[in-house]
Chain A
Amino acid sequence: MSPVSRGVSAEQRHQNAGQDGPQRTPVPRFGHGSRVPGWDESVDLSKDPAVVPDPETTPVPEALRQEIERAMAKYPDRRSAAIPALHAAQRLHGWCSPEAIHQVAAVMQVTPAYLTSVATFYDMLETRPELQDHHDVYVCTNISCSLRGAGDLLDAMVAAAAGHHDVHVRAFECLGACDIAPMASVDGEYIGPLETGDAVTVVEDLRAGRPVFEAKQLRYRKCADPEVAQQEHEG
């Protein structure tokens, strides 16, 4: 067993992962039925350290290649594009899967291990299996939101999403919207203040493909400062 996996088997990890999200990608299996090892790890730790992939032999979707190359061109050092590139690959694959990492590594000409070190550091880069087309619901559970009932909101959101495999609800650290506490970020759209009853509406809107809870979107919120509001009134 590889020392890096810290004694936790892929199976255990899989079970643990199931606790905060019911959805899972199908497990790839060999013809005789056993799992393809490393399918749920960003990098297969049982193999020798991977070298920089050969771009000639690594198929990369054209749109992804172009997006990564555009990102690399913006910086004096191409490695600066690691986060944007992984984001792009995650949008395509649903998570930073071994395949996604391999493709990014081939375009950026870095080792998969380097990209894995980046992917495992950041909360928004998923290193656990996710469906390709899934919705991310981040519920803020930091201090200001907690004071206003974020714990109950998270429970309600998890309950509302139960059974919907494409809705991935997770607790998140301060999202920088304490003025609308308790709040959630649904596919990047900030909504709040939410009540526990709103959780069902959020999931329904997502499933119906509607803009999520438009009435409570942060983008339409006015500044709280009364003098600003007064200026507007006079103007």
Chain B
Amino acid sequence: MKLLFDGIDEPGLNTLNVYERRGGYQSLRKALAMEPEEVLGNISDSGLRGRGGAGFRMGQKASFLPRGEMDKYLVCNADESEPGTFKDRELMQKSPHMLIEGIVIASWAAEIDRAFIYIRGEYALQADILEAAIAEAEKAGYVGEWILGSEHSLKLVLHRGAGAYICGEETGLLDSLEGKRGNPRLKPPFPAIEGLYHGPTLINNVETLCTVPHIIRMGGEQYAKIGTETSTGTKVVSISGDVQRPGNYEIELGIPSREIIYGLAGGPPDGREVKFWFPGGSSAPVLTKDDLDIPYDFDSLAKAGSMLGSGAIIVVDESHSVLEVALKLAKFYAHESCGKCVPCREGTNWTVKMLRRIQAGEATPMDLDIMASVQEQIIGNCLCVLGDAMAMPIGSMVEKFRPELEAEIEAARERAGAGDLEAVIPLGVADEHAGPVPVH
């Protein structure tokens, strides 16, 4: 079943003409004929869960915003920077009007008259396309004052970021949009109460908002029949890494993960086997080849100790070592940590150092325990989840691949010539200035 990807490759779909010919902006007309509460009711009935990572119910989030006239904002999070995720890129590039239509409908549902799309600075092509589409929509009266003669007005501005993973975190994004360094804020107050410019703010991911026109077209209850009971609808899955056909696929939530990795993406090349996979971006704890039959939906993956996250599957096959992936991952989070909270700032850097020690042959299996405990001390102790996003996958790798990592430690020590016990400095005199241990 294709909703978001229906006709996505049609030439010129990024222009208003083609989009309208395919039935575009009909959902907006339908929504504007309803009361905002009814639109919100449809979104709630659909059971739509956020597609950006947290999986929070959109209807519920929108209902947290205070009603009535005040400075309220809608922010579309198009900062897609979770490693492995590239679904929003394809949606914005090929069907920008679907996103605009979703934003206009969602802002009507929450009675918001000012919206921003925060797109990552690297997506230059997609930003240009969106800017052109917004101009077209404004000209046609789909965005602006008294939209299609209704009471709804909306000012929509595209804002380009400048390259920072943390700006995908909702409060970091708000700070960045206000023109500051993208440091996350303390929650509560949650953005729905106090967000952008201190006003109540609804923040949704691109894919979530793109789904809204389809919900209005089908009706919320009808949409809820797709997928599983708690994970309704379709999801665009980005699959990459060691697979034969990487790319974006729209699936119905709840199909077996194997069907995506092997069926759609063709599995690892050259007949190799899956070693482990990230089910929801690089922040998700890894799963192994034994977990391939888990249904791909929010709750099944959570039950398996991981998460659906942004819906990005990264497959690693047996030709790669756990250590190399772990180091890459830790380096990324250490680079992207904004530095505001100590456990994340120090923890990510410590983890990189410890992994480098393994590589350099300076580690012992005890380091794995220290590494695991550092991860535990990061989780839940920061303002945002960037630190957790490293700690969870690294922790899961240490847990699931401990024998391999121990073998790696031994091998590296032998390579470094430290495998010989006598060459190892005895405990207690690690400090080279301490001198030899006195013998009594």
Q: Which residue numbers of A lie inside 8 Å of B, CB to CB?
A: 74-77, 79-84, 86-87, 117-118, 121-125, 138, 141-144, 146-148, 172-181, 185, 188-190, 218-219, 222-229, 231-232, 235
Chain B interface size, as a band, is 35 or more
* List of A residues within 8 angstroms of B80 by Cβ: 176
B contact residues around A219 at 8 Å (CB)? 93, 125
Alpha-carbon distance A174/B325, docked complex (angstroms) = 14
Contact of B9 among A87, A147, A174, A228 (CB under 8 A): A228
B227 at the interface (CB under 8 A from A): no
Say if the beta carbon of B176 comes within 8 Å of chain A.
yes
For this complex, 27 residue pairs linking A to B, each with C-beta atoms less than 8 Å apart, are A76-B197, A79-B179, A80-B177, A80-B178, A82-B179, A83-B121, A83-B176, A87-B162, A123-B163, A124-B121, A125-B162, A138-B122, A142-B83, A142-B328, A142-B332, A143-B84, A143-B282, A143-B314, A147-B241, A147-B316, A178-B85, A179-B240, A179-B246, A185-B122, A227-B5, A228-B9, A228-B250
* Bound-complex Cα distance A148 to B125 (A): 24
Per-residue A-contact encoding for B238-264, CB less than 8 Å = 1, 0 else: 101110011111100000000000001
B2 touches A147 (CB 8 A): no
In the complex, are the beta carbons of A227 and B122 less than 8 A apart?
A: no
The residues in B between 134 and 168 inclusive whose CB is less than 8 angstroms from any CB of A are 157, 159-165
Q: Taking A141-B328, A173-B332, A235-B7 as given, write out 6 further A-B residue pairs in contact, using a Cβ cutoff of 8 Å, ordered by the A residue number.
A: A77-B197, A84-B160, A143-B83, A144-B83, A223-B248, A232-B7
* CB closest chain-B residue, reference A193: B246
B422 beta carbon closer than 8 Å to chain A: no
Asked if B8 and A228 sit within 8 Å, CB to CB, the answer is yes
List the B side residues contacting A227 at CB < 8 Å: 2, 5
Q: Is the CB of A224 within 8 A of B124?
A: no
Determine the chain A residues whose CB is within 8 A of the CB of B88 once the complex forms: 176
CB <8 Å contact, B241 and A222: no
In angstroms, Cα B88 to Cα A74, docked, is: 24
With A86-B162, A176-B120, A235-B10 known to touch, is A224 a contact of B86 (CB < 8 Å)?
Answer: no
What A residues does B5 contact at CB under 8 A? 223, 225, 227-228
Would A179 and B249 count as touching, CB distance under 8 A? no
Indicate if the CB atoms of A179 and B247 lie closer than 8 Å. Answer: yes
Verify if B400 is at the interface (C-beta below 8 Å from A).
Answer: no
Nearest CB of B to A39, in Å:
23
Residues of B within 8 A of A (CB): 2, 5-10, 71, 80-86, 88-90, 93-94, 114, 120-125, 157, 159-165, 176-182, 197, 238, 240-242, 245-250, 264, 282, 312, 314, 316, 320, 324-325, 328-329, 332, 335-336, 338
Which 6 A-B pairs have CB atoms at the shortest separation, nearest pair first?
A224-B247, A178-B240, A123-B163, A188-B124, A122-B162, A79-B179
Q: Are B247 and A81 in contact (CB under 8 A)?
A: no
Chain B residues with Cβ below 8 Å from A121 are 164, 181-182, 338
Q: Complex: how many Å from CA A86 to CA B178?
A: 14
Distance of A227 Cα from B8 Cα, bound (Å): 11
A175 touches B6 (CB 8 A): no
- Cβ of A83 and Cβ of B179 under 8 Å apart? yes
Q: Please, which residues of chain B bring their CB within 8 A of the CB of A86?
A: 162
**CB within 8 Å: A-B pair count:** 183
Q: By the criterion CB–CB under 8 Å, are A79 and B238 in contact?
A: no
* Shortest distance from the beta carbon of A2 to any chain B beta carbon, whole Å: 20
Q: Per a CB cutoff under 8 Å, which of B157, B248, B282 touches A225? A: B248
Q: Whose C-beta in chain A lies nearest to the C-beta of B237?
A: A225
* A173 B165 Cβ-Cβ under 8 A: yes
> In the bound complex, what is the Cα–Cα distance between A229 and B242 (angstroms)?
23
Q: In the complex, are the beta carbons of A146 and B328 less than 8 A apart?
A: yes
- By a CB distance below 8 angstroms, the chain A residues around B197 are 76-77
Would A231 and B2 count as touching, CB distance under 8 A?
yes
Closest chain A residue, CB of each to CB of B247: A224
Expressed in whole angstroms, the minimum distance between the Cβ of A129 and any Cβ of chain B is: 18
Question: A232 to chain B: which residues have CB within 8 Å?
Answer: 7, 9-10
